[in-house]
Amino acid sequence: MSEYGQGTKPKPTLGYPLDAQKDGVSGFGRTEPFMNVQRLKDEFLFGIPLYSFITGEKISDETLKSIIRRSAAKVETKCRISIFPIAREKRIDFDLTKYRQGFLQMNLGACPILSLEEVSIRLSNSSVYPYAIQTQGNESGELIYTFPLEWVNLSLASKGILTMTPIGVSGLASGGMATIGTPTADIAGAALLGLMNKANHYPGFWLVRWTSGFNANSIPSEINTLIANYATIELLSMVSNTNIFSGKSIGLDGASQSVSTAGPAIFKERIDLLAAENKDIEDRLRKHFGPGIWMQHI
């Protein structure tokens, strides 16, 4: 078994900046706490009236918190990045090309990897046969083979990619290669591992458990900026929609004065500028955290 506490292997670097061991110097850093209401007001909503032009009703801090949460969820889905730590489990197909040429490369599809808990082969009885008897720890299927976490390379953890030391197949899955529970499991594990040299593709072969996201107070500044920009656009749209009058006129004793305004388009220019900035940030984040190249059997 792995020597990483409770069977967990942490990522070797910060993940942001890429391959960094330590971020910044005193007074300067590229990561920060998660965006909050006060910072949103101070840095991104300066001079913006947070009330309805029609009723005068103010936008509460609770509403601002909800908008920030929605904006963070939008960043996660659009950029395919986990912001807050989340435990994940996924079955990944065996691919002969990746086994022979890519060091068992696995694209987990959720990044950055914060820690790795398990790479194993498990039976699918818990999902295929819902009435099968389950034992504690085997809710995802009976354990057949555990890949030692020491042999898993996490240098591409920020991109959600694992690579592993190639393994050979002997008569039994033993010799320190895995943690196997019973002699029967040894034989089953060896049989399944034997498929590695014969089958081009085997669906749902590996089961991977990992945690994706960022540590507390270590959110990349560009992610916070993107969250704040999304929130600002939503707030500007809310406020501008209440500015329904494009002009007003005041008359007194035959004298009058007219004032014209942009009406609902009062913040259009600001919204357009933020939308253009968002596109640039999204592209940079996808490039930084997304897999640039991968392989598979065709």
Half-sphere exposure of residue 262: CA atoms within 13 angstroms, side-chain side: 10
- Mean pLDDT (whole number) for 56-75: 96
Confidence of residue 193 (pLDDT cuts 50, 70, 90): low
**pLDDT value at 30 more than 70:** yes
Q: Can you list the alpha helix ranges (DSSP code H) found in the chain?
A: 37-39, 61-79, 96-101, 125-128, 183-194, 221-240, 268-289
- Mean pLDDT (whole number) for 161-182: 55
What's the confidence (pLDDT) of residue 226?
98
The pLDDT tens digits for 100-147 are: 777 788 999 999 999 999 998 887 754 444 444 455 556 666 788 888
Confidence of residue 209 (pLDDT cuts 50, 70, 90): very high
Summarize the chain as % helix, strand, coil (round to 5). Answer: 35, 25, 45
Confidence of residue 2 (pLDDT cuts 50, 70, 90): very low
Poorest-confidence range of 42-56, 66-80, 85-99? 85-99
Confidence of residue 244 (pLDDT cuts 50, 70, 90): confident
Residues 6+ apart with CB under 8 A from 28: none
CB-CB neighbours of 44 under 10 Å: 17
What's the confidence (pLDDT) of residue 176?
39
- Distance separating alpha carbons of residues 220 and 225, to the nearest angstrom: 9
Percent of the chain with pLDDT over 90: 44
DSSP 212-249: ES--TT-EEHHHHHHHHHHHHHHHHHHHHTT---SEEE
- Mean pLDDT (whole number) for 249-271: 74
pLDDT higher for 149 or 295? 149
**pLDDT value at 252 more than 90:** no
Alpha carbon of residue 177 to chain centroid? 31
Domain ranges of the chain: 30-80+216-245+259-289, 86-212
**pLDDT value at 6 more than 80:** no
- Mean pLDDT (whole number) for 230-253: 82
What is the value of pTM for the model shown?
0.78
Poorest-confidence range of 94-98, 111-115, 164-168? 164-168
Confidence of residue 180 (pLDDT cuts 50, 70, 90): very low
